[in-house]
């Protein structure tokens, strides 16, 4: 089927008490792996790229990969810009054909975050493309994403004003998760999440989920999370598969042999997280 937007997928997840897994992809094999996992479990799925991934290749390269996979698939697939760091990049993704856009103005002042997020909403909504924004800063560092050391959590009172003034379709909240590899077990403020969920009606998004215990993720979903992002652990899974092949046969020169093993590892990981999100069997 054709690529879809997140609009109905996240509203259905919100109503049904589950979440949609959003997986960062870096190459064709990872795209294939995520879609294959979604097909096998009959789950909707979101594939996404960050600014650094796009910089490595190009928006059009990744869009073409995902669009091709979506056209061959029987489940709903979304192409999402993750952590869009400027209005200009968001517009480039929109023009390329991305069906979901995140604008991350969380490093700006509250007022400037509202301003840039509303500008992206005003540009995307006429095309039916949904917009995600972030309030507070998800901590850690991955690629060019740096949450800084202060890592302020999302204030529920600010969340009300932010959603009303921007018109965003979903909101990424900062409740203690972080990008990259955790040092120790993350302390996730689920009570703060419940406070936000009580006052904000739109679907909520959890970033920095790689390494968060599955039971904590499930609890966050019970408290209102409708989209769960995974990135670092997909890279780890892919690299694990590649390294296994090269360890056992260091003279291997055919990329298909080690990339296919990386693809297998990513598929296994994604299938596991789709089950954690509770979206298996939710494709329509």
**Cα separation, 230 vs 208, whole angstroms:** 7
Helix crossing, 87-96 with 110-124: angle to 10°?
A: 20
Closest CA to 120 of 156, 160, 93: 93
For the record, the structure tokens of 138 come out as 């998800």
48 membership: H or E segment, kind and range:
strand 45-49
**Cα separation, 15 vs 28, whole angstroms:** 33
Residues annotated catalytic, as ranges: 82
**Cα separation, 166 vs 168, whole angstroms:** 5
Query: Which residues are documented as binding site for Zn(2+)?
Result: 83, 104, 134, 179, 207
Query: Which residues are documented as binding site for dihydroxyacetone phosphate?
Result: 180, 208-210, 229-232
For the record, the structure tokens of 6 come out as 């997140």
**Cα separation, 266 vs 37, whole angstroms:** 9
**Cα separation, 194 vs 182, whole angstroms:** 24
139-151 in b/e form (b: 16+ CB < 10 A) is bbebbebebeeee
What's the half-sphere exposure (Cβ side, CA atoms, 13 Å) at 94?
A: 22
Question: In this structure, how many other beta carbons lie within 10 angstroms of the beta carbon of residue 77?
Answer: 28
Contact 2, 63 (CB under 8 A): no
Strand 204-206 and strand 145-146: the pairing is unpaired
């Amino acid at each position: 089927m054709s690529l879809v937007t997140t609009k109905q997928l996240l509203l259905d997840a919100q109503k049904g008490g589950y979440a949609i897994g959003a997986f960062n992809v870096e190459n064709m094999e990872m795209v294939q792996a995520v879609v294959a996992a979604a097909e096998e479990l009959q789950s909707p799925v979101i594939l996404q790229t960050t600014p650094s991934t796009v910089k490595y290749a190009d928006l059009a390269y990744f869009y073409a990969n995902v669009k091709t996979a979506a056209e061959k698939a029987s489940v709903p697939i979304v192409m999402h810009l993750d952590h869009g760091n400027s209005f200009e990049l968001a517009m480039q993704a929109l023009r390329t054909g991305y069906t979901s856009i995140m604008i991350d103005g969380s490093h700006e002042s509250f007022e400037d975050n509202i301003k840039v997020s509303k500008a992206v909403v005003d540009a995307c909504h006429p095309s039916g493309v949904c917009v995600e924004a972030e309030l507070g800063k998800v901590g850690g560092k991955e690629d060019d994403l740096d949450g800084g050391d202060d890592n302020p959590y999302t204030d529920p009172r600010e969340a009300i004003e932010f959603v009303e003034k921007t018109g965003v379709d979903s909101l990424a909240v900062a409740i203690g998760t972080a990008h990259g590899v955790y040092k120790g077990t993350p302390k996730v403020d689920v009570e703060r999440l419940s406070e936000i969920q009580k006052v904000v009606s739109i679907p909520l998004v959890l970033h920095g989920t790689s390494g968060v215990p599955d039971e904590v993720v499930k609890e966050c979903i019970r408290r209102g999370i409708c989209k769960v992002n995974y990135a670092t652990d997909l890279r780890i899974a892919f690299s694990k598969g590649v390294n296994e092949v090269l360890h056992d046969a260091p003279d291997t020169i055919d990329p298909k042999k080690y990339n296919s093993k990386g693809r297998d590892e990513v598929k296994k990981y994604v299938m596991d997280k789709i089950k954690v999100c509770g979206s298996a069997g939710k494709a329509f």
